[in-house]
Amino acid sequence: MYYNKDCDINFLKKKIVTIIGYGSQGHAHAKNLKDSGINVNVCLKKNSKNIDNARNYGIKVIEINEAVKISDVLIILIPDEDQRDLYYNFIHDYYDKGKTLIFAHGFNIHYKQIIPRSDLNIILIAPKAPGHTVRSTFVDKYGVPSLIAIYQDYNKNSLNLALSYCKCLGSGNVGIFLTTFKEETETDLFGEQAVLCGGVSSLIISGFETLVEAGYSPEISYFECLHELKLIVDLIYEGGIKLMRFSISNTAEFGDYYIFENFYYNLFKIKMKKIIKNIQNGNFSKEFILDKKANFLKLNLLRNNFSNHLIEIVGDKIRKMFKFKTKIIN
């Protein structure tokens, strides 16, 4: 674990830094680095709607050819599926040796979609929060934890550079974890698929459908299987599963342990071991890459199917009864 005391911002202050992309993570990185005194540019497409946003904050917008020519450090913050083409079309043959590439996710390096030249420094820096949180916590003089990994250390100084970058993001205030590209990639995919996205959405939809098919109203089923989930997740986020179990009724807590032991745990472990194996052996990455080559035919079909699911129709109606506020700092 590293903190601000381990980070020297001067390792980055001496560099020209360019962030490729200005989406959720890109805008946060760019603004946090600029506020930390770093010479930072952003690289965007000519028709990007984010050009004015960056310029209005005093960040110079440059094209990819100029970025590769003048930058000491390039941070690739565009979608995973677009990074291979970017690298081989604009970076691989044109980026000077001894310069640095930073990724926020290890997918393309770990699964060999990008095989970088051996004379480059290849670093991973992954803040563990959405971009608006990376930005808002920085503004609040706090920060979010970050993961760092070194894949290639041509200049023998990549760790210091990574720590300097993390300090500029605000992560040095709370903690910086050392990992590997392999560990970050495989655990990130597993967390998304088995728990955070695939697991949660499967559990919600299965529960909703079970209640509706048993004759209960869609509205009540929505409340019980989706709406109240935030109450539970907030408790877990603030104090772990222990706080959640302390805060709920004895009936709910007993039901928690009862279902855990008798229905879910062993079944989930069997399925999750298959999920992690599918990630480790590259099968998931192959399917994702193949679907990208097919213009995301399967992804778009699934998006369309699930967007018209009864739970979304009922949810649209119920959510109008509530006023939601999300703190987002651009």
- Residues tagged active-site: 105
Query: Is 136 flagged in the annotation as binding?
Result: no
Query: Is 253 flagged in the annotation as binding?
Result: no
Query: Is 71 flagged in the annotation as binding?
Result: no
Query: Is 72 flagged in the annotation as binding?
Result: no
- Give, as one character, the DSSP assignment of residue 172: G
Query: Is 151 flagged in the annotation as binding?
Result: no
Query: Is 48 flagged in the annotation as binding?
Result: yes
- Residues 6 or more apart from 85 whose CB is under 8 A from it? none
Query: Is 280 flagged in the annotation as binding?
Result: no
| One-letter-per-residue 3-state SS of 84-112 | HHHHHHHHCCCCCCCCEEEECCCHHHHCC
Query: Is 164 flagged in the annotation as binding?
Result: no
Q: Are 100 and 171 in contact (CB under 8 A)?
A: no
- For residues 121 and 95, give the distance between their C-alpha atoms in angstroms, rounded to a whole number: 11
Q: Give DSSP secondary structure letters for 182-221.
A: HHHHHHHHHIIIIIITHHHHHHHHHHHHHHHHTT--HHHH
- 7 backbone dihedrals φ, ψ, rounded to 5°: -115, 130
Query: Is 258 flagged in the annotation as binding?
Result: no
Query: Is 224 flagged in the annotation as binding?
Result: yes
Helix (H) / strand (E) containing 19: strand 16-20
Q: Are 102 and 165 in contact (CB under 8 A)?
A: yes
Point out the annotated binding site for substrate.
249
Q: What residues form the annotated binding site for Mg(2+)? A: 188, 192, 224, 228
User: Binding site for NADP(+), residues?
Assistant: 22-25, 45, 48, 131
Q: Annotated binding residues, as ranges?
A: 22-25, 45, 48, 131, 188, 192, 224, 228, 249
